[in-house]
């Protein structure tokens, strides 16, 4: 690239290209240049030492410290270095930039304190220090002269704000993002004086107080309010917010609040809201598409009303862990849902056929209810995008339909703890996502352009015999659980082709025959075949299962020597009891033919070792 001879340039915009390497020196030779935008490239050098009136180097690979010579550039009005690898403290000379209107160094590795010199920047309108490693105490002095400030964004730092209780801010902000600051324990009263607020995030701020009525009665038009992860109490009658509300993980009580007709995202999870859904779902005057409705882990009761027809924009519905009863209303099937989670309620009946119209579903979780009937074949025929299917702990019966094998994107299948009978379909080998290597699957979706938060949903699985939580790593999880049913016949050798499967649980069934050698060719981290009627020896190929950290073949009719491998010898004796096995880790010696010199005590053919739960979290928005 050459721009020699263009000495009269005042503004250069090269953003969003594929520029690499250090920042070229020739930009400093353009004497009239005032605005330089190189954001969204792959430039990698130390932070610039030559500045203009406006410099945007956001979303590059800049490193090093902010230069203390920043204070020499008196005409600098806009400086954005967001989303780089800049470290070190913010230099005190920043306070000498009398013309500075925008200062954005978010998403870096800056440390040290929140400089007191910010209070000298009388022209400052936008201050964004979010997602760094700043710490220490902030007082009203830091903002003493910021009369023009409209955006204060510094979430995800370790800062404590301790203004005087009678402090009246000199600014009127439109955006305040102070999530993960320590603002409590009392609700910050200084917010009462903000008349232009549109975006407010004071999540995870150590606030233990009653939500003041004045907050949602401010003469402002809130677009986004995030008060999540505090200890706020009280009831809420009406949410005067236009787009996004997140009140999750507090201690709110009372009935569900009425909402503004244009609200798009409502997250009330992990509170103590009680009552029925009817008022919210059926009497809401919708003027725009509600996209996300998350009210899990509350005290809602009664039936889910059958009036979802005017919620056509809804893509995410999570009502898990309430006290809901009744059947799934047919009108839910007319929504364009990506996620439907009704786990851990007291619902019953069959899965309505109208759900086959929800062809965009990637997660369907009906586990831990009282649903009955057979698993519908149309799940495999119509819901081709499904990646997570959990029908665990219900009363489903009948056979596993062959059409389930058409779910080529399925990564998690949990049919455990039902009354399902028949054979395990050989066509399970068609689960491409469990068989083929692929890039890590990403479930992280941002809610909207005005939110920096992500929505987590969870799938309940038995995995590795312990309780774990997966967030951004959910894309690495592939699991199949068919435990505690009445499945019969042999384990299909075709399961061995699912080389990307990480957890396989077939325990507590009526399976017979030998364990297929092909399972030893998988890359399992968890394998549970306990409490069946399997016979023969543990395949020698199991010595190649190098990634196993949970293994159980107890209470079968297995014989012979346990294959020698570091992994198989590392498990407790309880993983092998109730068989006729010998060799380490058992104390039973093997004869020359490889059989046990006596029979292990079968004990009680019960659940065996304790089944623990694994919460797998994913991000959706």
276 to each of 175, 255, 292, how far by Cα in Å?
Answer: 34, 8, 18
Positive or negative torsion for Cα 253, 266, 620, 323: positive
Instruction: Point out the domain boundary residue: 146, 164, 193.
Output: 146
| 425 found inside a domain | no
Q: What single-letter DSSP state applies at residue 91?
A: P
Question: How many Cβ atoms from other residues are within 10 Å of residue 136's Cβ?
Answer: 12
pLDDT band of 62, cuts 50, 70, 90: confident
Mean pLDDT of the chain: 86
pLDDT digits (tens, 9 = 90+) for 183-201: 999 999 999 999 999 999 9
Distance of CA 30 to the CA centre of its chain: 47
For the chain, the domain total comes to 2
| Residue 262 near residue 243 (C-beta atoms within 8 A) | yes
pLDDT of 190: 96
pLDDT band of 315, cuts 50, 70, 90: very high
Positive or negative torsion for Cα 388, 393, 394, 400: positive
**Side-chain half-sphere CA neighbours of 475 within 13 A:** 11
Q: Where are the alpha helices (DSSP H) in 334-468?
A: 378-382, 432-435
| 201 found inside a domain | no
| 479 found inside a domain | yes
pLDDT digits (tens, 9 = 90+) for 358-415: 999 999 999 999 999 999 999 999 999 999 999 999 999 999 999 999 999 999 999 9
Nearest to 180 by CA among 222, 211, 134, 115: 134
pLDDT of 312: 86
| Residue 543 near residue 568 (C-beta atoms within 8 A) | yes
| Residue 379 near residue 404 (C-beta atoms within 8 A) | yes
Q: Is the pTM of this model over 0.85?
A: yes
| 346 found inside a domain | no
Residues spanned by the domain of 54: 1-146
pLDDT of 173: 96
pLDDT band of 316, cuts 50, 70, 90: very high
Residue 497 has pLDDT above 90, yes or no: yes
| 316 found inside a domain | no
| Residue 495 near residue 518 (C-beta atoms within 8 A) | yes
| Residue 321 near residue 344 (C-beta atoms within 8 A) | yes
Higher pLDDT, 347 or 283: 347
183 to each of 118, 187, 225, 267, 368, how far by Cα in Å?
Answer: 19, 7, 16, 22, 39
d(CA 452, CA 229): 15
CATH of residue 3 = 3.80.10.10
| Residue 154 near residue 127 (C-beta atoms within 8 A) | yes
| 611 found inside a domain | yes
Instruction: Point out the domain boundary residue: 146, 167, 201.
Output: 146
- By 3-state DSSP, what share of the chain in percent is helix, strand and coil, each rounded to 5? 15, 30, 55
pLDDT band of 475, cuts 50, 70, 90: low
Instruction: Point out the domain boundary residue: 83, 115, 146.
Output: 146
d(CA 356, CA 14): 48
| 469 found inside a domain | yes
| Residue 34 near residue 99 (C-beta atoms within 8 A) | no
Strand-pairing partners, residue 307, are none
Peptide bond into 108 cis (omega under 30): no
| 29 found inside a domain | yes
């Amino acid at each position: 690239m050459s721009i020699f001879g263009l000495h009269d340039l005042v503004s250069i915009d090269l953003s969003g290209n594929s520029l690499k390497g250090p920042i070229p020196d020739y930009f400093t030779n353009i004497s009239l240049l005032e605005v330089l935008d190189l954001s969204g490239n792959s430039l990698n050098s130390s932070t610039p030492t030559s500045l203009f009136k406006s410099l945007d180097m956001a979303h590059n690979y800049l490193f090093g410290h902010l230069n203390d010579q920043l204070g020499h550039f008196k005409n600098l009005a806009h400086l954005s270095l967001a989303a780089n690898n800049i470290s070190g403290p913010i230099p005190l000379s920043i306070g000498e930039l009398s013309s500075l209107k925008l200062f954005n160094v978010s998403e870096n590795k800056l440390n040290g304190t929140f400089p007191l010199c910010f209070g000298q920047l009388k022209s400052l309108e936008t201050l964004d220090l979010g997602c760094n490693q700043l710490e220490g105490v902030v007082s009203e002095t830091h903002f003493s002269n910021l009369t023009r400030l409209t955006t204060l964004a510094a979430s995800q730092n370790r800062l404590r704000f301790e203004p005087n209780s009678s402090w009246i801010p000199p600014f009127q902000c439109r955006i305040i993002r102070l999530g993960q600051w320590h603002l409590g324990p009392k609700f910050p009263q200084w917010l009462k004086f903000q008349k232009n607020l549109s975006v407010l995030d004071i999540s995870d701020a150590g606030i233990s107080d009653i939500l003041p009525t004045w907050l949602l009665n401010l003469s402002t038009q809130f677009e986004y309010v995030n008060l999540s992860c505090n200890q706020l109490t009280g009831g809420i009658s009406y949410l005067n917010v236009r787009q996004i509300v997140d009140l999750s993980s507090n201690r709110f009580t009372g009935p569900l609040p009425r909402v503004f007709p244009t609200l798009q995202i409502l997250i009330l999870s992990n509170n103590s809201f009680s009552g029925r859904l009817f008022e919210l779902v059926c009497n809401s005057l919708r003027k725009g598409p509600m996209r996300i409705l998350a009210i899990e882990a509350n005290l809602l009761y009664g039936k889910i009303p059958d009036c979802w027809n005017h919620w056509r924009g809804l893509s995410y519905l999570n009502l898990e862990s309430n006290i809901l009863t009744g059947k799934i209303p047919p009108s839910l099937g007319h929504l364009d849902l990506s996620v439907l989670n009704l786990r851990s309620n007291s619902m019953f009946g069959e899965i309505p056929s109208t759900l086959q119209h929800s062809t965009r579903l990637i997660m369907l979780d009906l586990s831990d209810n009282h649903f009955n009937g057979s698993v519908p074949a149309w799940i495999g025929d119509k819901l081709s995008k499904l990646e997570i299917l959990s029908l665990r702990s219900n009363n489903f019966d009948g056979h596993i339909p062959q059409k389930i094998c058409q779910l080529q994107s399925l990564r998690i299948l949990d049919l455990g703890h039902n009354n399902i009978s028949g054979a395990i379909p050989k066509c399970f080998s068609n689960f491409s996502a469990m068989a083929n290597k692929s890039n890590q699957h990403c479930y992280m979706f941002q809610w909207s352009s005005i939110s920096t938060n992500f929505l987590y949903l969870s799938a309940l699985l038995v995995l590795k015999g312990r309780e774990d939580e997966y967030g951004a790593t959910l894309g690495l999880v592939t699991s199949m659980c068919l435990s505690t049913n009445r499945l019969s016949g042999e384990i299909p050798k075709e399961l061995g082709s699912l080389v990307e499967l990480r957890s396989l649980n077939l325990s507590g069934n009526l399976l017979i025959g030998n364990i297929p050698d092909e399972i030893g060719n998988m890359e399992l981290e968890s394998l549970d075949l306990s409490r069946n009627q399997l016979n023969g020896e543990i395949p020698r190929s199991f010595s190649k299962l190098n990634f196993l950290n949970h293994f159980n073949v107890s209470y079968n009719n297995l014989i012979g020597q346990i294959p020698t491998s570091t992994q198989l010898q590392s498990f407790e004796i309880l993983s092998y009891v109730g068989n006729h096995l010998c060799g380490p880790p058992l104390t039973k010696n093997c004869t020359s033919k490889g059989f046990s010199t006596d029979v292990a005590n079968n004990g009680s053919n019960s659940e065996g070792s304790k089944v623990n739960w694994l919460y797998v979290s994913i991000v959706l928005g």
